[in-house]
């Protein structure tokens, strides 16, 4: 879906296909038929943007076989779909029964991550619509925080600098300007937007910026305006933003709230949980708020694991149009505030927006879609909500 900003810029809205587990090219083609085209039809649009996720095996087939790549491009066109962004965060296995920490491998200190991301950039350059010259690829924020020492940091910096040079060469060859976007996430080396400034400034490359995920931003209790002010002041660009909402518990001390939260503790994905509290440790300034957290929601619910006198937020992507029942809520207001700042001003701070709710089948059983039709209904409802937010900010939907 395309929107015209008041300044004349085109802003693209997509939904991410990592919600549909497929590791092979045949699986990707089936996604387009079984999921993406039905969502487009529900929205009544001739064209729908998708943020394509290509696992390692599917990407390698497409790079090695130009005919297969042409066939994918033709299938996108035939089904009224277009691609301006790829989700390069998961490498493989995102549809496994247990993903958890595996999603952060290989990290940016490993040569496999560079090779895969370079493949994605080449593929995106070939998949861009004929009238679009800019693409984006989101990726993990360097690494999970453990076992990432100075040597790994240097290796990651070298890999990103190498990729920036390859992206320069790719534009010279194809005319397509592909940009990489590091996606801060709780628990990672780059957990917040503030953490991203130093490594991105050190790269000093216009090819590499930040992917702002509004669920991750909210989980870390970051203020959208403060975060974007700091990024702008540091010269860090936002090639892509992901529209998502976190799980919010206002009063986690209450037994009923903890019981409701426990329904969202599940074995497939990590649900990093955070709270912003006054310091509890000796020597900390009494006036400073401190972000505390656990790697997963079930850990947070263990007695005494996390202070419970202030609200909790968990990294669980809640469907935008369907907040959980009280006493829980979603952080949709943070998404709205962030989107207002991103595209509600005199010029957009990003031109690529992606709805990324990959947790439909991880929701409590009563809230999960029971079939493809219900999943398509849900995704279409999310995109409809995002469309309403954008038009409410003065953007005009294009045919």
DSSP class per residue in 329-358: EE-HHHHHHHHHHHHSSSS-S-SEEEE---
Identify the band that residue 289 occupies on the pLDDT scale cut at 50, 70 and 90. Answer: confident
* Cα dist from 159 to 11, 153, 164, 168, whole Å: 30, 10, 9, 14
State yes or no: pLDDT of 269 exceeds 80.
yes
Confidence of residue 108 (pLDDT cuts 50, 70, 90): very high
Q: What local confidence, expressed as pLDDT, does residue 284 receive?
A: 59
Averaged pLDDT for residues 119-143: 98
Q: For residues 216-239, give the mean pLDDT.
A: 97
Distance, CA of 309 to CA of 322 (rounded, Å): 26
Contact call for residues 207 and 280 (beta carbons, < 8 A)? no
Higher pLDDT: 355 or 286? It is 355
Q: What is the pLDDT of residues 142-201, one digit of tens each?
A: 999 998 999 999 999 999 999 999 999 999 999 999 999 999 999 999 999 999 999 999
Domain boundaries, the chain: 2-246+322-397
Q: Is the pLDDT of residue 285 over 80?
A: no
pTM for the model stands at: 0.96
pLDDT > 70 in the chain, percent: 97
Q: Is the pLDDT of residue 350 over 90?
A: yes
Using the predicted structure, report yes or no on whether residue 53 has a pLDDT greater than 90: yes
Query: What value does the mean pLDDT take over residues 311-326?
Result: 98
What is the average per-residue pLDDT within 18-31? 95
CB 272 within 8 A of CB 305: no
* pLDDT, averaged across the chain: 96
The answer to whether residue 366 scores a pLDDT higher than 70 is yes
Q: Which residues are registered as beta bridge partners of 248?
A: 313, 329
User: In this predicted structure, what is the pLDDT of residue 177?
Assistant: 98
Options 3.40.47.10, 1.10.3720.10, 3.90.1150.180, 3.20.20.150; CATH for 2-246+322-397 is 3.20.20.150
Residues 6 or more apart whose CB falls under 8 angstroms from that of 335 comprise 214, 218, 243, 244, 245, 320
Question: Could you give the CA distance from residue 290 to residue 310 in angstroms, rounded to a whole number?
Answer: 11
pLDDT of residue 296: 98
Q: What is the pLDDT at residue 283?
A: 60
- Residues 66-90 have pLDDT tens digits of 999 999 999 999 999 999 999 999 9
- The tokens describing 265, both together, are 């503790």
């Amino acid at each position: 879906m395309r929107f015209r900003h008041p300044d004349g810029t085109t802003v693209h809205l997509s939904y991410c296909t990592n919600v549909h587990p497929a590791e092979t090219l045949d699986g990707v083609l089936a996604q387009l038929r079984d999921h993406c085209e039905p969502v487009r039809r529900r929205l009544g649009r001739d064209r729908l943007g998708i943020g394509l996720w290509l696992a390692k095996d599917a990407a390698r087939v497409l790079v090695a076989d130009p005919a297969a790549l042409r066939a994918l491009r033709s299938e996108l066109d035939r089904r009224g779909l277009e691609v301006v962004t790829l989700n390069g965060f998961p490498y493989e296995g995102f549809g496994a029964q247990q993903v958890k920490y595996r999603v952060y491998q290989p990290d940016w200190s490993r040569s496999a991550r560079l090779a895969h991301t370079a493949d994605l950039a080449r593929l995106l350059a070939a998949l861009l619509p004929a009238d679009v010259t800019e693409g984006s690829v989101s990726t993990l924020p360097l690494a999970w925080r453990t076992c990432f020492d100075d040597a790994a940091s240097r290796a990651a910096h070298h890999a990103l600098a190498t990729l920036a040079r390859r992206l320069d060469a790719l534009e010279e060859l194809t005319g397509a300007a592909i940009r990489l976007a590091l996606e801060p996430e709780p628990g990672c080396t780059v957990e917040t937007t503030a953490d991203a400034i130093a490594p991105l400034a050190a790269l000093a490359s216009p090819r590499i910026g930040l992917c702002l995920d509004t669920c991750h931003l909210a989980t870390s209790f970051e203020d959208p305006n403060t975060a974007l002010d700091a990024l702008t002041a540091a010269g860090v660009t936002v090639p892509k933003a992901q529209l998502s909402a976190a799980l919010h518990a206002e009063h986690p001390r209450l037994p009923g709230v903890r019981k409701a939260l426990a329904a969202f503790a599940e074995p497939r994905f990590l649900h990093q949980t955070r709270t912003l509290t006054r310091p509890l440790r000796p020597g900390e300034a009494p006036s400073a708020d401190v972000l505390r957290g656990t790697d997963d929601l079930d850990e947070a619910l263990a007695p005494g694991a996390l202070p419970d006198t202030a609200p909790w937020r968990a990294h669980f992507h809640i469907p935008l149009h369907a907040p959980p029942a009280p006493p829980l809520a979603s952080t949709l207001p943070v998404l709205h505030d962030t989107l207002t700042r991103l595209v509600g001003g005199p010029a957009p701070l990003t031109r690529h927006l992606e709805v990324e709710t990959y947790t439909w089948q991880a929701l409590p059983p009563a809230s999960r879609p029971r079939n493809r039709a219900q999943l398509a209904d849900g995704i279409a409802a999310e995109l409809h909500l995002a469309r309403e937010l954008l038009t409410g900010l003065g953007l005009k939907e294009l045919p």
